[in-house]
Amino acid sequence: MKTMKQFTLHDQKSFFRLSGRKSCTIEPSLLVVGVRGGFLLLLFLLPILISAQEPLNSYLETAANNSPALRAKFNGYMASLEKVPQVGTLPDPQLVFGYFAMPVETKNGPQRFNVSFTQLFPWFGTLGSREDVFVSAAKSNYEAFEEAKSKLFFDVRSNYYDLYFINKGIDITLENIRILNSFKRLALIKVEAGKASGVDELRAEMELYDLENSLALLKDRKQAVTVKFNNLLNVDNNSSVEIPETLWIDDLILSRQAILDTLTVKNHQIKSLDYLYQSYRDKEILAKKTGTPNIILGADYINIGKVDGVENSGKDALLFKVGITLPFYRKKYSGLVNEALYLQQTVQNQKDDKINVLETLFEKVYSEYADADRRNTLFNIQGDLASKAIRILESEYSSNGKNFEEILRMERNLLKYSLELEKARSDKQAAIAFIDYLMGK
């Protein structure tokens, strides 16, 4: 038995609001609302419009709140944020105490012990460059989280549409079984009246067995898809799913070219690679600054004892120190720069390849969308024609007992067209959902 697990996190003192932003700013929270039991419910979830699709929207929210995979991505993002303060601060200062086992005698008295304090300061701008590297990397991780969220929403939507089709398939099959039973009774009446062959009744029986087998298969599929759907929501496998009586018929808002243009800038995988590329550019800048001297500031305090009979003896000494590190070994620093350049080229190649893959996927799914749209129109028309044909054939059979086989054939066609119509509706919405996923929605 799975329990409903809310997507909760401890309060964060700082949080990067990164979605759809070119620069990173630290803010107190990211749409954090709803305090319960010391935890905060994060509803960074969805730009979802409240509409007739409310049950599906509710399932999307449940999936986002409960998904352990999404929570893992988010925690990985939060972990990457914690690296920023680690690299953006000065190195720890050094405090050293020294005691003279054999005091050093001076004219002012013996030196007893000394205390030394040293602080290293990286070259100007180095700390900021270090932060930039990890801020860009954190943005890349955030886009990976958004990608996981978009993929989860697509999976929920596509499984929801599968469940809709299976439910409609069960309803349509049950209705056809009812109709065939009425045809069977009609055939029996005609056989008893001597106006039809007993084969008509047997044909109806055969069709009924086929339909009952199809119905059993649909019910098995419904169970499997329901379990898969509830696992996406991370709720109990036996939870019921609210399915609409008729699936909405949405269309793509953007043109084909507008969608293609959007893919290269809005897709979360592309944006993640863009931020990763920026991270390596920042790493290149940091590598160059790493090859500059570090500044060393410090002070030494020396305790001096008094000497009897010596005037002004026993005065302690204070020494101030200034120094720099000498980055003589240049191969190390040039290697860091070259590494960053190669990594930039690697990410650019990955981005170019990803764009090609996304465009290929889009062309495939867009053709499926167009095909589903055409099938929706076609099977509406075919279903109407088949219904009219059945009424005519049924009337003729009632009067003269002929063409029963043709009635059964046309009934099979009507069943096929009804199922294909619902499949076209489901496929069209699934194609739209996948295109939305590619666009980073």
CB < 8 Å & 24+ apart, contacts of 349-357: 350/273, 351/270, 351/273, 351/274, 351/277, 354/267, 354/269, 354/270, 354/273, 355/263, 355/264, 355/270
Q: Which band of pLDDT confidence, cut at 50, 70 and 90, is reported for residue 238?
A: confident
**What φ, ψ does residue 214 adopt, rounded to 5°?**
-60, -40
Question: What predicted TM-score, i.e. pTM, was given to this entire model?
Answer: 0.80
| Helix (H) or strand (E) segment spanning residue 116 | strand 109-121
Alpha helices by DSSP H, listed for 304-403, are 330-400
- Residue of 141, 276, 159 whose CA lies nearest to 227: 159
Whether residue 109 is contained in a domain is answered as no
What angle separates helix 126-192 from helix 330-400, to the nearest 10 degrees?
10
Q: Which band of pLDDT confidence, cut at 50, 70 and 90, is reported for residue 303?
A: confident
> Most distant CA pair in the chain: distance in Å?
148
Q: Which band of pLDDT confidence, cut at 50, 70 and 90, is reported for residue 167?
A: very high
Whether residue 303 is contained in a domain is answered as no
Whether residue 57 is contained in a domain is answered as yes
CB-based contact 242:233 (threshold 8 Å): no
Whether residue 235 is contained in a domain is answered as yes
| Whole-angstrom distance, CA of residue 183 vs CA of residue 200 | 9
Q: Which band of pLDDT confidence, cut at 50, 70 and 90, is reported for residue 16?
A: very low
Range 85-112 average pLDDT: 86
Q: Is it the case that residue 41 has pLDDT exceeding 50?
A: no
| Environment class of 16 (CB within 10 Å of its CB; exposed 0-12, middle 13-18, buried 19+) | buried
Token couple for 135: 């801020």
Q: Which band of pLDDT confidence, cut at 50, 70 and 90, is reported for residue 205?
A: confident
Whether residue 29 is contained in a domain is answered as yes
What pLDDT score does 11 carry? 34
| Helix (H) or strand (E) segment spanning residue 9 | strand 8-9
Range 47-63 average pLDDT: 73
- Residue of 128, 171, 112 whose CA lies nearest to 316: 112
Range 4-31 average pLDDT: 35
Q: Mean pLDDT of all residues in the chain?
A: 84
Token couple for 249: 């018929």
| Whole-angstrom distance, CA of residue 10 vs CA of residue 39 | 6
Q: Any idea what the CATH number is for the domain that residue 377 is in?
A: 1.20.1600.10
For the stretch 345-394, pLDDT in tens is 999 999 999 999 999 999 999 999 999 999 999 999 999 999 999 888 88
Whether residue 399 is contained in a domain is answered as yes
Work out the end-to-end distance of the chain between its first and last CA atoms, rounded to an integer number of angstroms: 32
CA Rg, the chain, in Å?
A: 37
Q: Is it the case that residue 46 has pLDDT exceeding 60?
A: no
What pLDDT score does 5 carry? 41
Q: Is it the case that residue 273 has pLDDT exceeding 90?
A: yes
370: domain range? 8-89+122-292+327-438
Sheet of 39-42: strands edge to edge? 8-9, 39-42, 32-36
Whether residue 2 is contained in a domain is answered as no
Q: Is it the case that residue 397 has pLDDT exceeding 50?
A: yes
Count other Cβ atoms within 10 Å, centred on residue 320.
8
3-state secondary structure of 304: strand
List 114's β-bridge partners, or say none.
98, 302
Q: Which band of pLDDT confidence, cut at 50, 70 and 90, is reported for residue 21?
A: very low
What pLDDT score does 172 carry? 93
How many domains does the chain fold into?
Answer: 1
| Whole-angstrom distance, CA of residue 300 vs CA of residue 150 | 59
Whether residue 114 is contained in a domain is answered as no
What pLDDT score does 104 carry? 80
Range 22-32 average pLDDT: 33
Least confident of 35-44, 172-181, 428-437: 35-44
**What φ, ψ does residue 38 adopt, rounded to 5°?**
85, 0
Q: Is it the case that residue 146 has pLDDT exceeding 60?
A: yes
Alpha helices by DSSP H, listed for 291-329, are none
